[in-house]
Amino acid sequence: MSAFTDTNADHVHTFALQMGNLGLSRVTDLLLAMFESGAWREFTDGTGAHRFLPGEYDYFLTQQGVTRDHVMHGVRDVEVKARLEEAMDERRTGEDGYRRRLEDVRRAVPERPGNPIEPFGCSRSEGTLVGVGARPALGRAPRTYRLTGGATTKRPNERLDRTQRMSALIRRLSDLELEQLVTDIAAEQALRSRTRAEADAAPAHIAAN
């Protein structure tokens, strides 16, 4: 056992204790400090040697008892979430040197009692293994933030104004649905015209009385 892995193991042990005993207020600082330290990548403890690839931070976290919900609710800063997500992108599962498949990492890394290694994000096939279905590692917003270079957390359709979204929806309607919509719009216009006319006439009627 080298001095390097001894030091990392101490760091990991302290991290796990702090994450288990502190409130959400310090979650962001602890997660970032551990991530940036690199100690999570390789350490040795009483259960054996642990080695994680650059895209397996979520595997490490679940092994230490940190859940996806803990990170989702504890980290409010979308930029921080985007940084962490780069180290757990489930779309790259199986990519050599980045992220192993769940069954492979479970075979290679010792299990800590009560804390099975699990992914935060899952493809459809891996989601079946853990019973959660397909999902991005830390939700949609951090991923969109990354894909747009930090410009926005909104999907392309959410960046349209309301009229543009309605126009896009109308183009997807069937002929029958479009006819019904035209009828509904005409009825709404007639109702608004009557309401305006009644509002305009009301002051004159009151004055006459």
The structure's pTM equals 0.68
pLDDT in tens, 17-26: 998 876 666 8
pLDDT in tens, 183-199: 988 998 988 888 888 88
Determine the pLDDT at residue 64: 95
| 106-122 mean pLDDT | 93
Determine the pLDDT at residue 141: 87
Residue 78 tokens read as 């979308």
Residue 4 tokens read as 């390097």
Average pLDDT of the chain is 85
pLDDT in tens, 55-68: 999 999 999 999 99
Is the pLDDT higher at 160 or at 111? 111
CA distance 154 to 106: 35
